[in-house]
């Protein structure tokens, strides 16, 4: 009896001392709360590498940038720039590799609004790690003295091994781009071009089932946005009454303070709905949605245009223009016998007195 009682007590204490089961807490990836297209832009080589410009080591992006048109060995005109997307909330290259950015183009327009270049985003997928090893063989003979004697050595052999390492991009990396200009669309020095990025971004989203909110399929969103929706409805009622009374008024948009407050309110409601382990309802469904995004354009001034054997700069273009105008003026002064019915857009007209009978 005593043994049985002792065994029961021992089993009780052993059971109390067992390690409790660990609760599996789901791990969710962190996501950027905002995609800022204003942060996606093209920058010059000097802006991408400020150390190249000793005088302006910290050149801000707000200054008027300039680029030059160069020609390849195949006589194809092109412009070199870097893609910049720091703090944009979206890592362009990683999203392209992941497949969430389905379509992407860099587009350049001239002053007339014509497309002069359009091509996909290029990036270096791999970095090459090259290792060189020198191998030397020595011949050693052991003689009667039993001491090794080095006779001669062979010519060192150099072995080269190459390894391709996949490159990882962050939003702080700049990605070099070469924009090939269409035939006949090369801008002249002094002209301006604008460049922007087009993206097709696929971002599936979840919707809860309708039964989780009493049959209301939009119950979740209505709960998240109910405060700002109620505010807008109140303003619309006030606006309706003013129209009825013969007044003409404008809908009052949200102030900066209201925007901040409502964003914080929506985030708080989402967090409370998710809890610690995700949405507090049984079923959700993924839906397809794509966003056609266009970044803000950035304007560049053409500094020079390269040719086969020489390069035309902005100053040379101005000088040639002044020379041409001088020649036209000189020719116009010599033409005393031109008609008074010449086009009013003629370079220069001299006043003439026509005698009447």
CA distance 268 to 273: 9
Per-residue pLDDT at 286: 85
pLDDT band at 237 (very low <50, low <70, confident <90, very high): very high
pLDDT of residue 124: 80
The rounded percent of the chain whose pLDDT value lies above 70 is: 68
Mean pLDDT for the stretch of residues 245-251: 86
Instruction: Please report, for the chain, the start and end positions of each structural domain, with discontinuous segments joined by +.
Output: 31-123+170-202+289-319, 126-166, 205-287
Q: What is the pLDDT of residue 325?
A: 58
pLDDT tens for 127-182 read 778 888 887 776 666 666 666 666 666 677 788 888 888 878 877 888 999 999 99
Residue 190 pLDDT greater than 80, yes or no: yes
Distance of alpha carbon 232 from alpha carbon 266, whole angstroms: 15
Does the pLDDT of residue 258 top 50, yes or no? yes
The residue ranking higher by pLDDT, 12 or 211, is: 211
Q: Which is higher by pLDDT, 257 or 207?
A: 257
CA angle 335, 340, 342 (to 5 degrees): 75
Burial (CB < 10 A; 0-12, 13-18, 19+), residue 352, is exposed
Does residue 189 surpass a pLDDT of 70?
yes
| Contact (CB, 8 A) for 301 and 65 | yes
| Residues 99-124, mean pLDDT to the nearest whole number | 93
Report the share of the chain in percent with pLDDT over 90.
34
Give me the pLDDT at residue 114, please.
96
Residue 301, pLDDT above cutoff 70: yes
99-113, 149-163, 193-207, 244-258: lowest mean pLDDT where? Answer: 149-163
* pLDDT of amino acid 248: 83
Structurally, what CATH architecture does the domain formed by 31-123+170-202+289-319 represent? Sandwich (2.60)
pLDDT of residue 342: 40
Report pLDDT for 3.
58
pTM for the whole structure: 0.67
Phi-psi sector, 87: left (phi>0), alpha (psi -120 to 50), beta? left
Spatial distance between the Cα atoms of 274 and 137, rounded to a whole number of angstroms: 68
**In the predicted model, is pLDDT for residue 260 greater than 90?**
yes
pLDDT class of 112 with cuts at 50, 70, 90: very high
More confident of the two residues 78 and 271? 78
Decide if pLDDT at 323 tops 80. Answer: no
Helix axes 219-244, 256-274, angle to 10 degrees: 150
pLDDT of residue 208: 82
Looking at residue 353, its pLDDT comes to 43
Instruction: Name the average pLDDT for the chain.
Output: 78
Closest CA to 88 of 255, 168, 201, 167: 201
| Predicted local confidence at residue 354, as pLDDT | 42
pLDDT at 100 over 60: yes
Query: What pLDDT does 125 receive?
Result: 74
């Amino acid at each position: 009896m005593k043994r049985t009682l002792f065994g029961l007590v021992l089993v009780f204490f052993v059971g109390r001392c067992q390690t409790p089961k660990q609760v599996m807490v789901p791990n969710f990836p962190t996501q950027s709360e905002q995609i800022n297209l204003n942060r996606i832009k093209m920058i010059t080589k000097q802006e991408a590498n400020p150390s190249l410009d000793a005088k302006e080591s910290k050149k801000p992006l707000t200054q008027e940038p300039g680029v030059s048109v160069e020609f390849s060995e195949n006589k194809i005109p092109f412009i070199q720039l870097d893609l910049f997307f720091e703090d944009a909330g979206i890592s362009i290259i990683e999203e392209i590799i992941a497949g969430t950015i389905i379509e992407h183009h860099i587009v350049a327009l001239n002053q007339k609004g014509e497309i002069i270049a359009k091509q996909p985003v290029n990036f270096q997928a791999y970095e090459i790690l090259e290792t060189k090893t020198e191998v030397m063989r020595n011949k050693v003979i052991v003689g009667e003295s039993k001491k090794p004697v080095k006779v001669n050595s062979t010519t060192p052999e150099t072995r080269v091994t190459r390894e391709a390492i996949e490159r990882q991009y962050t939003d702080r990396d700049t990605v070099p781009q070469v924009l090939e200009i269409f035939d006949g669309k090369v801008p002249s020095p002094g002209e301006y071009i604008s460049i922007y990025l087009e993206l097709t971004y696929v971002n599936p989203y979840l919707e809860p089932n309708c039964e989780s909110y009493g049959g209301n399929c939009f119950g979740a969103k209505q709960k998240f946005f109910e405060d700002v929706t109620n505010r807008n409805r109140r303003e619309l009622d006030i606006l309706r009454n003013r129209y009825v009374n013969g007044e003409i008024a404008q809908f009052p948009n949200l102030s900066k303070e209201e925007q901040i407050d409502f964003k914080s309110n929506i985030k708080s409601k989402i967090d409370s709905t998710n809890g610690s382990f995700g949405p507090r309802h049984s079923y959700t469904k993924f839906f397809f949605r794509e966003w056609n995004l266009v970044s803000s354009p950035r304007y560049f001034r053409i500094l020079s245009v390269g040719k086969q054997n020489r390069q035309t700069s902005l100053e040379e273009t101005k000088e040639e223009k002044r020379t041409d105008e001088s020649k036209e003026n000189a020719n116009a002064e010599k033409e005393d016998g031109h008609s008074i019915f010449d086009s009013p857009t003629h370079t220069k007209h001299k006043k003439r007195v026509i005698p009447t009978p």
